[in-house]
Amino acid sequence: MALPAGLATVRLHCDEIVDALGDPVTGKLYIYPPGPVTWDGQALLTAGPIIVDITDGVLDVTLPANDDPALSATGWTWRIREGWPGGTIRSIALPSATPDVDYASLAVTDPSSGVAAPTALSVNGQTGAVTLTAADLGADNAG
């Protein structure tokens, strides 16, 4: 069934999802809305998952943008469960301002706010376990 015309959508895709050994995964991606959601008074989404088959690591699905103002739910994120060995569960925001999203580039979000969880790979050019001093932060050592 096609999504209604006029509904803001986001294409979620990835050319190659791989496991820890670099092999393409095969399995399912379970995508959950926050519960029953209607769009402009029409039935749209149930509380159950949208199930997407992943074959040879390829993902391609079009979903309603979670910020379409005509949706009955507001301030929500999609809950994603990766149905393959080593898969994770996470919440993601798919706003209409970004209609084409590479799954591999998504930041994990706080499910209650939809705000991306901060991720730091380095601090002041240091990586690994980093110890910062007051001088690293430009703070007054005397307090």
> What's the mean pLDDT in 53-63?
94
Question: Helix, strand, coil shares of the chain as percentages rounded to 5?
Answer: 5, 35, 60
More confident residue, 133 or 105: 105
> What's the mean pLDDT in 5-11?
91
Rg (CA), the chain: 19
Q: Residue 126: its pLDDT value, please?
A: 61
Is the confidence at residue 65, as pLDDT, over 80?
Answer: yes
More confident residue, 75 or 133: 75
Q: Say how many C-beta atoms besides its own lie within 10 A of residue 51's C-beta.
A: 12
Rounded Cα gap, residues 28 and 59, in angstroms = 9
Confidence of residue 63 (pLDDT cuts 50, 70, 90): very high
Is the confidence at residue 20, as pLDDT, over 80?
Answer: yes
Whole-prediction pTM:
0.72
Residues 6 or more apart whose Cβ sits within 8 Å of residue 67: 8, 74, 93, 95, 96, 97
